[in-house]
Structure 1
Amino acid sequence: MTAGLRGTDRPLAELHDLALVDLDGVVYKGHEPVPHAAASLTAARERGLALQFVTNNASREPEAVAEQLTSLGVDTRPGEVFTAAQAGAALLTTRLEAGARVLVVGGAGLHTAVSAAGYVVVASAADAPDAVIQGFAPTLGWPDLAEAAYAVAAGAWFVATNLDLSLPTDRGYAPGNGALVGAVQAATGVRPDSAGKPEPTMYRLAVERTGARSPLVVGDRLDTDLAGARAAGYPGLHVLTGVSSARDAVLARAGERPDYLGADLRSLADVHPAPERAGDWWACGDAAARVADGALEVRGDDLDAVRAACAAAWDAADRGAPVDPDTVPALGVGSAREVASDR
């Protein structure tokens, strides 16, 4: 069965009992809030939707993340935050006994999570660690990466909290953990095991801690958030406030396709229409799209046009006749332009 957009007859916040919400690019960018995010999440909670904030950022403790979210208007408890540091520590337990030595390359959140899992945290390859776990921290430098490389080259198990190549900040996109992990991988030739999205571990652990029956993944990145949703078997909402654009969604591989599209988190309160085939065209609302001779044609310039374009392009790709990427326009969405003007 191919992966396509779903339709709903009720708002997403009423159809699901838990939202697994990404942070960077969805709720905030660096220290700046994403417009409408706080009010939308508060309104979703009032409809009965529980929240778990699931982030590939492993640099901070859940308490610090909860404090930032609360300061931005989203009242959050530490138990509602699940980080890649916690997922990384859980991954270590699959191969290492308590008391094993682990070289931690990362921030306070990763140090705390590894210690809490029962491991001895070391700071040097000279301590003969059994594993190296690497997560993002803005203070990491060459000496940290060198120690990781020395330990991995000596046979330590190499674990990364995530492999995100970029990190959204209030100034733009900066190198993420995957870029720094790449330096160690290039030096050693060893590819790490990853605990973060798109691996499904984080989502499944977050669902287990809540007992939710109908979770919804909410994210801005197709290659991590939405691919992780597919891997976990949970429906995913792609919001257009971060890394992956509407055009990216149209060109998405089957394993990274969202189930729903939204300009921002206000889409949690929306009913989502499903595109329908109309002859050679796919229609959604007043918009329509088709692929003819490998070229994408789109009528409309709103979110329904993006939905129709996704349906047309995905259908063509699944039939073995993918759309020519050069024919896919930028597909700007009104609310996404509003986000840019608010910044």
Structure 2
Amino acid sequence: MTTTGPALARGSAQPPTAVYDVALLDLDGVVYVGPDAVPGVPAALATARSAGMRLGFVTNNAARTPEEVAEHLCDLGVAAAAADVITSSQAAATVVAELLGDGARVLPVGGPGVAAALTAAGLTVVAAAEDEPLAVVQGYGRDVGWAQLAEAVVAVRRGARHVATNTDATIPSPRGPLPGNGAMVGVVSAVTGRPPLVTGKPDPAMHAECVRRTGARRPLVVGDRLDTDIEGAGRAGAASLLVLSGVTDPATLLAAAPHQRPDLLSVDAGGLLDVHPGVVPADGGGWRCGAWWARPDPERGHLQLGRTGGESEREADGLDALRALCVAHWTREPDGSAPARVRALGAPAAAALSRWQLSD
């Protein structure tokens, strides 16, 4: 793997299992979607382990305890222990304990994982604003409703510190994106007029804790979200692999801000086992990845996408055209996140843009 060039351009001449010692994997949208594993991922992770890569699981979902998460992973065929799991509830509990001291009263809002993490950190869990909590820690929970949100609002308006485990607006599901913790945090903030302290990804504390636990020297963050996983990797000084099995689609990736652009790209976490082609300058301008090239259209201001070679020249994962487009667009927009406008040159390019829902 080279060390120069734009984000995503470098690629990896060896599979990540041969380059990185630990994969720090997000869960929702990476290992599973809803209750079910992403197809093929448990087997891919087992193969990555057999190749010598260690795995850590880093999730912004605060609803469950590490023990429950590990049990779910084992049920899906992914070997895991509670010690392998870092949740945003744990990160929030650590931050609150450091801010307020041992035994401080805290009101949890969210799933059981929130209260369990607070108790494990030596804090006192209370049930109501009348218990005079010094902080409200809010994390995702499927059963969070008006009563809990109202209690949080009252406590924060009375002076409690509002701490959010994360502000992910959505969570992936088999039915498409659903409201995440960020949507519920927004309700409390809108009513109180006070922004929360956010402790989960992209804050580097979670990845740093997983690095400490695993002793990683060359960690690779694997995630499906640009604003948490990829940005968090950069803030923690780690390389990143974006997977398209969760909430990020090609249009969102193309519009990524500079601090949210991944080092590697794959369809799913099986990309840990694959070589990742680099993106190189193309003859006549623009960028090339495999048989695909992307370049600016000087007359219309679009990007042009085209393909050379015969139909037999197929890339391993079908993403070479997207890699070329990303690097071409990001090179033209080094400091911004403007949407890309792409014009297809030829039927293969038109098919690729249609598949990714990128219009001319």
TM-score, length-scaled by structure 1: 0.92
- Relative distance call for 1:333 and 1:121 in structure 2 (3 A) is farther
Please identify the structure whose Cα radius of gyration is greater: 2
Distance in 2 (CA, whole Å) between partners of 1:31 and 1:332 is 32
- Relative distance call for 1:3 and 1:227 in structure 2 (3 A) is farther
Q: 1:4 aligns with which of 7, 14, 23?
A: 7
Task: Map 1:31-42 to 2 at 5 A.
Answer: 31-42=35-46
Cα-to-partner distance string for 1:250-275 (whole Å, 9 max, x where unaligned):
22110100000001122111111210
Aligned residues: 335
- Relative distance call for 1:136 and 1:328 in structure 2 (3 A) is farther
Answer whether contact 2:251 2:339 (CA < 8 A) is retained. no
Task: Map 1:143-162 to 2 at 5 A.
Answer: 143-162=147-166
Is 2:207 the partner of 1:241? no
How far is the alpha carbon of 1:171 from its aligned partner? 2.3
* Aligned residues: CA RMSD: 2.2
How far is the alpha carbon of 1:32 from its aligned partner? 1.7
The amino acid that maps onto 2:294 is: A
Answer whether contact 2:254 2:340 (CA < 8 A) is retained. no
Q: 1:14 aligns with which of 18, 25, 44?
A: 18
- Relative distance call for 1:149 and 1:295 in structure 2 (3 A) is same
Distance in 2 (CA, whole Å) between partners of 1:3 and 1:156 is 44
5+ unaligned residues in a row in structure 2: which ranges?
Answer: 308-314
The amino acid that maps onto 1:297 is: Q
Task: Name the counterpart of 1:181.
Answer: 185
How far is the alpha carbon of 1:328 from its aligned partner? 7.6
Task: Map 1:1-343 to 2 at 5 A.
Answer: 3-5=6-8, 6-278=10-282, 279-293=284-298, 294-300=301-307, 302-318=318-334, 325-327=340-342
Distance in 2 (CA, whole Å) between partners of 1:85 and 1:156 is 18
The amino acid that maps onto 1:303 is: L
Answer whether contact 1:101 1:129 (CA < 8 A) is retained. yes
Answer whether contact 1:295 1:323 (CA < 8 A) is retained. no
How far is the alpha carbon of 1:219 from its aligned partner? 0.5
How far is the alpha carbon of 1:94 from its aligned partner? 2.9
Q: Secondary structure of 1:133's match? A: strand
Cα-to-partner distance string for 1:180-206 (whole Å, 9 max, x where unaligned):
000000100111011111111110111
- Relative distance call for 1:319 and 1:63 in structure 2 (3 A) is closer
Distance in 2 (CA, whole Å) between partners of 1:238 and 1:328 is 25
How far is the alpha carbon of 1:133 from its aligned partner? 0.4
Distance in 2 (CA, whole Å) between partners of 1:59 and 1:34 is 20
Comparing 38-47 with 265-274, greater Cα deviation is found at 265-274
TM-score, length-scaled by structure 2: 0.88
Answer whether contact 1:247 1:331 (CA < 8 A) is retained. no
How far is the alpha carbon of 1:333 from its aligned partner? 7.1
Q: Secondary structure of 2:168's match? A: coil
Identical positions, percent? 47
How far is the alpha carbon of 1:280 from its aligned partner? 1.4
Answer whether contact 2:69 2:85 (CA < 8 A) is retained. yes
Cα-to-partner distance string for 1:141-161 (whole Å, 9 max, x where unaligned):
101000100111111111000
How far is the alpha carbon of 1:327 from its aligned partner? 3.4
Q: Secondary structure of 1:305's match? A: helix
Q: Secondary structure of 2:77's match? A: coil
- Relative distance call for 1:324 and 1:130 in structure 2 (3 A) is closer
Distance in 2 (CA, whole Å) between partners of 1:92 and 1:197 is 16
How far is the alpha carbon of 1:331 from its aligned partner? 9.1
Q: Which runs of 4+ in 1 moved over 6 A?
A: 328-334
Distance in 1 (CA, whole Å) between partners of 2:200 and 2:343 is 31
5+ unaligned residues in a row in structure 1: which ranges?
Answer: 338-343
- Relative distance call for 1:312 and 1:331 in structure 2 (3 A) is farther
How far is the alpha carbon of 1:244 from its aligned partner? 0.4
Distance in 2 (CA, whole Å) between partners of 1:190 and 1:324 is 32
The amino acid that maps onto 1:265 is: A
Distance in 2 (CA, whole Å) between partners of 1:332 and 1:229 is 33
- Relative distance call for 1:93 and 1:2 in structure 2 (3 A) is farther
- Relative distance call for 1:107 and 1:319 in structure 2 (3 A) is closer
Distance in 1 (CA, whole Å) between partners of 2:247 and 2:189 is 24
- Relative distance call for 1:157 and 1:131 in structure 2 (3 A) is same
Distance in 2 (CA, whole Å) between partners of 1:304 and 1:83 is 34
- Relative distance call for 1:267 and 1:183 in structure 2 (3 A) is same
Cα-to-partner distance string for 1:214-272 (whole Å, 9 max, x where unaligned):
00000111111111111111110001111001222222110100000001122111111
The amino acid that maps onto 2:296 is: V
Distance in 2 (CA, whole Å) between partners of 1:332 and 1:204 is 42
